[in-house]
Amino acid sequence: MKETTTIYLVRHGQTEWNVQHRFQGHKDSPLTKLGIQQAEWLGEALQHDPFDFIFSSTSSRAYHTAELIKGNRNVQISACDEFREINLGVWEGEIQERIRELYPQQLDHFWNHPELFGVKGSETFHEVRERAVSKLNEIVSSYPGSRILLVTHTVVVKLLMAYFEGRSLDRLWDLPYIHPTCLSKIELTDDVPSILLHGDVSHYKEEQGA
């Protein structure tokens, strides 16, 4: 009998630096009140979905989101550095408008040619893809047939979904937009992915902008 592994892939809730339009990367900021609500809404929407394993980025914004989604389930959250956001080096903590002024070419690369991106102290998108995909494949191989919740970050969500879709890095930022706590759901049967949800925010209980 074929075993199907189900992955619930989630971005963390809205943070203070999201509101301030600051690049976060490996640096961190707390969830806003709305970010906490977003995670609670998703937790309510998934309250009847049994998770066998929960994995999170080691960044507190992702781990806190995972805790809120987990609720009262008796499942331990495993924190993994491999699922952290892309390291943005000298950009981290800076407001996007300042980055646009100081690094116009690299900002263009970030959004339009991610395969070319790199600034002082940063990772490349290739490096993030390698660590995140490798770790996820290791988890899936270790726990076939299980239901896995993974809470991570925008770039990691984008890279993992591109991997499942067979989409090239130069098309990384194709829609859908990855909103806070948006849900992507993937079923893997004999290593063949079936994408059931991609960037879903139907759990939101009020209208929100990007």
pLDDT at 206: 79
Question: Residue 208: inside a domain, yes or no?
Answer: no
Question: Residue 174: inside a domain, yes or no?
Answer: yes
In whole angstroms, what is the distance from residue 40 CA to residue 35 CA? 9
In whole angstroms, what is the distance from residue 185 CA to residue 194 CA? 9
Question: Residue 71: inside a domain, yes or no?
Answer: yes
We report the CATH number of the domain holding residue 190 as 3.40.50.1240
In whole angstroms, what is the distance from residue 45 CA to residue 33 CA? 19
3-state secondary structure of 185: strand
pLDDT at 208: 61
How many structural domains compose the chain? 1
Output the DSSP codes for 46-80: TTTS--SEEEEESSHHHHHHHHHHHTT---PEEEE
Question: Residue 49: inside a domain, yes or no?
Answer: yes
Question: Residue 135: inside a domain, yes or no?
Answer: yes
Q: Comparing C-alpha atoms, which of 182, 25, 184 is closest to residue 117?
A: 25
Indicate the pairing of strand 4-11 with strand 183-189.
Answer: antiparallel
Going residue by residue through the chain (210 aa), what tens digit of pLDDT does each one get? 679 999 999 999 999 999 999 999 999 999 999 999 999 999 999 999 999 999 999 999 999 999 999 999 999 999 999 999 999 999 999 999 999 999 999 999 999 999 999 999 999 999 999 999 999 999 999 999 999 999 999 999 999 999 999 999 999 999 999 999 999 999 999 889 999 999 999 999 976 654
pLDDT at 39: 98
Question: Residue 92: inside a domain, yes or no?
Answer: no
The span from the first CA to the last CA of the chain, in angstroms, equals 43
Give the CA distances from residue 190 to residues 16, 37, 137, in Å, rounded to whole numbers and listed in that order: 41, 36, 12
Question: Residue 107: inside a domain, yes or no?
Answer: no
Q: Comparing C-alpha atoms, which of 159, 170, 163 is closest to residue 192?
A: 163
C-alpha 89, offset from chain centre? 19
The pTM of the full predicted model, rounded to 2 decimals, is: 0.96
Question: Residue 113: inside a domain, yes or no?
Answer: no
Q: Which domain holds residue 185?
A: 4-18+30-84+124-200
Could you read off the pLDDT of 121-171 as tens digits, one per residue?
A: 999 999 999 999 999 999 999 999 999 999 999 999 999 999 999 999 999
In whole angstroms, what is the distance from residue 200 CA to residue 183 CA? 5
